[in-house]
Structure 1
Amino acid sequence: MRLLAAALIACCPVAVTAADVYGPRLEGFDYPYPVKTFALESQRQPLEMAYLDVAPARSPIGTVVLLHGKNFCAATWQETIKPLLDAGYRVIAPDQIGFCRSSKPAGYQYSFGQLAANTHALLEQLGVQRAHIVGHSMGGMLAARYALLYPQATQSLSLVNPIGLEDWKALGVPWRSVDAWYSNELKTTFDSIKKYQLDVYYSGDWQPSFEHWARMQAGMYAGAGKEAVAWSQALTSDMVFNQPVVYELKNIRVPTTLYIGQKDRTAIGRDQAPPALKAKLGNYPLLGKAAAAAIPGAQLVEFADLGHSPQVQDPARFNAALLRSLEANR
């Protein structure tokens, strides 16, 4: 009987791969560089903000701060960090409060102003007075807010497929409660993440390089801390939906470059939008041009064949464009 069972196992392909399982603060997932922790007091509670702080081999020519998106972490910048180090930049990549390796408080008034203030406090603690701020997706919304609040500390601003370039609520996307966001988040699996990213981020083109990061996100939902992760994501979805930056782009007064993958169609809440509206949302070829026109002196870099995450989909091309922009603004 044992021999028969062994033979069946050997000859039959495994249909399902065991899911990666991580803790609520992404315990068990390996980051590409050592993770450090910044202890802060915020909204009457002690919190911990995880971050990477990596120095180049020689004296730094500047500091680059990398801000992750909502479905991403500091680790997702892995393929960008090394080229920046090789070019001579010090690189700091935090996990925002509520995300990844950082604290996930059950009660927190999330706002981009608050996350920007937390980031600024971290940089002050590290002795960084001025930095190049790079933000992807939701991190682009945060980066824009940071530049608006701390222009003197922002050497340049790089926005990588930022969301919030349109006001979804004003356009007619239905509002939903935090409880509704939470209920939806509890349904998150690797398969649902992959389907969403395949449809919205990459226009049906899934590549092996996306797998690792999708499993990173899914692993937090597969673990014992699923409820804490889902609640944080619900609270931050409410923040993203209700705090668009599009109206204030005209007020940005630092050198800015937008990097826009043209196949991206990200729009928060589009799943509940009426069909006619859904078809118009997240039109990044138009949104990128409009944002570049709104920000005084902004430069626009378009990637015709890329989607929501150019730094993941084609690191070499994205990194080359980013380094050119940083060099121009040294």
Structure 2
Amino acid sequence: MKKIALILLIIPFVCFSQKENIKALDINLSNYEYPFPVLFFEVNNQRQSLKMAYMDIKPENYNNKNIVLFHGKNFNGAYWETTIKALTKEGFRVIVPDQIGFGKSSKPNNFQYTFQQFAENTKKLLDQLGVTKTTILGHSMGGMLATRFALMFPETTEKLVLENPIGLEDWKLVVPYKTVDWWYDGELKQNYEAIKKYQLENYYDGKWNADFQKWAELSAGWTTAPDYNIVAWNSALMYEMIFTQPVLYEFKNIKSPTLLIIGTRDKTAIGKQLVPEEVRKTMGNYAELGKKTQKAIPNSKLVEIPNTGHLPHIESFDQFIKPLIAFLKQ
């Protein structure tokens, strides 16, 4: 009985300690250090002046080739650290923006999010930096943005790389519509435990390590911020954007040479919790979606990474970076 009582006393302490180890972050991550210096570019969108954070890393052995990295919805530019180091080592200039509403960039109280607006903002940033030609790489939601950028600015997009992009299927065909307010209520309930559970189940096949941990902690860090509701509202607006602005019907119009890097274990699909089990099983099957997408995009190549989920550049870095660098050097 004494042992049981001791265990019961310890369990709450362990849970409490784990929560206490999560660093509280403000909504613009001003108290979180990125791996490289962060600069800010002012954009005027929808009658408001906003700050777009970005990293611009130009190596001493610059080979006159550029690459822009677009982050996913649940992330920001910081998670590209290992990728940036590998690319700059090879001589590439790497530009990594935090889109409006993400990371260190402004979180507006009201904003009509579109992939076109994100693409326009990025193009203005590149113009400011004097970059006229670049590879565009997008992961997850960033893959939808990268596709839109390539369609809008083919003359700028030297090459296109899509790493486990979402939007390879049109979810609104099977998932019932939910309002922005519904998504907002769900975002307000986010915390470290919920974020880790989602990532563990959907990204990493039930496995967990320190590299995965730090990105879950980063997402969880600002859920305790006094004005986290602003982040939650922006996130809800982005769900609306993702659901109502598919890009897959325009894959056939992409003109840039394209590389698809697909972790085939990935089953990511937004809205799976809203459909019956038999429908859920058909969603987010990247082992099939990668092949289907490669056939839809002219002049494209598919690299499949087995036993890897939604984040190849985090989970299976060597298998991700080698074909990427080979494609960039072609």
- Shorter-chain-normalised TM-score: which range? over 0.9
- Residue 150 of structure 1 is matched in structure 2 by 153
1:279-303 alpha-carbon deviations (Å, 9 max, x no partner): 1100000110000000012100000
2:266 counterpart of 1:234: no
- Residue 56 of structure 1 is matched in structure 2 by 59
Amino acid at match of 1:50: A
- Residue 266 of structure 1 is matched in structure 2 by 268
Q: Distance in 1 between matches of 2:183 and 2:93?
A: 37
Amino acid at match of 2:130: G
Q: Choose from 109, 119, 122 the match for 1:119.
A: 122
Cα offset for 1:207?
A: 2.8
- Residue 82 of structure 2 is matched in structure 1 by 79
Could you list the runs of 5+ residues in structure 1 that have no partner in the other structure? 1-7
Amino acid at match of 2:111: Y
Q: Choose from 11, 17, 26 the match for 2:29.
A: 26
- The answer as to whether partners of 2:203 and 2:311 remain within 8 angstroms in 1 is yes
1:152 is paired with a residue of what secondary structure?
coil
- Residue 178 of structure 2 is matched in structure 1 by 176
- The answer as to whether partners of 1:203 and 1:307 remain within 8 angstroms in 2 is yes
- The answer as to whether partners of 1:186 and 1:227 remain within 8 angstroms in 2 is yes
Alignment of 1:104-115 (within 5 A): 104-115=107-118
Q: Distance in 2 between matches of 1:20 and 1:237?
A: 26
- Residue 166 of structure 1 is matched in structure 2 by 169
Q: Choose from 287, 292, 315 the match for 2:294.
A: 292
Aligned length: 318
Q: Distance in 2 between matches of 1:220 and 1:241?
A: 25
Q: Distance in 2 between matches of 1:252 and 1:202?
A: 31
Cα offset for 1:190?
A: 1.1
Amino acid at match of 2:88: L
Q: Distance in 2 between matches of 1:280 and 1:184?
A: 24
- Residue 144 of structure 2 is matched in structure 1 by 141
- Residue 3 of structure 2 is matched in structure 1 by none
Cα offset for 1:206?
A: 2.3
- Residue 278 of structure 1 is matched in structure 2 by 280
1:22-64 alpha-carbon deviations (Å, 9 max, x no partner): 0011121110001100011111110000000011122333111
Which sits farther off after the overlay, 150-159 or 262-271? 262-271
Amino acid at match of 1:252: I
2:161 is paired with a residue of what secondary structure?
strand
The alignment yields a C-alpha RMSD, in angstroms, of: 1.4
1:158 is paired with a residue of what secondary structure?
strand
Cα offset for 1:12?
A: 6.2
Please report the TM-score for the alignment, with normalisation by the length of structure 1.
0.94
Q: Distance in 2 between matches of 1:133 and 1:226?
A: 31
Cα offset for 1:168?
A: 0.4
- Residue 257 of structure 1 is matched in structure 2 by 259
- Residue 225 of structure 1 is matched in structure 2 by 227
- Residue 5 of structure 1 is matched in structure 2 by none
- The answer as to whether partners of 2:146 and 2:162 remain within 8 angstroms in 1 is yes
Q: Distance in 2 between matches of 1:235 and 1:98?
A: 10
Amino acid at match of 1:247: Y
Q: Distance in 2 between matches of 1:182 and 1:192?
A: 15
- The answer as to whether partners of 2:305 and 2:319 remain within 8 angstroms in 1 is no
Could you list the runs of 5+ residues in structure 2 that have no partner in the other structure? 1-5
Amino acid at match of 1:288: G
| Runs of 4+ displaced beyond 3 Å | 11-14
- The answer as to whether partners of 1:20 and 1:222 remain within 8 angstroms in 2 is no
1:151 is paired with a residue of what secondary structure?
coil
2:240 is paired with a residue of what secondary structure?
helix
Q: Distance in 2 between matches of 1:59 and 1:278?
A: 46
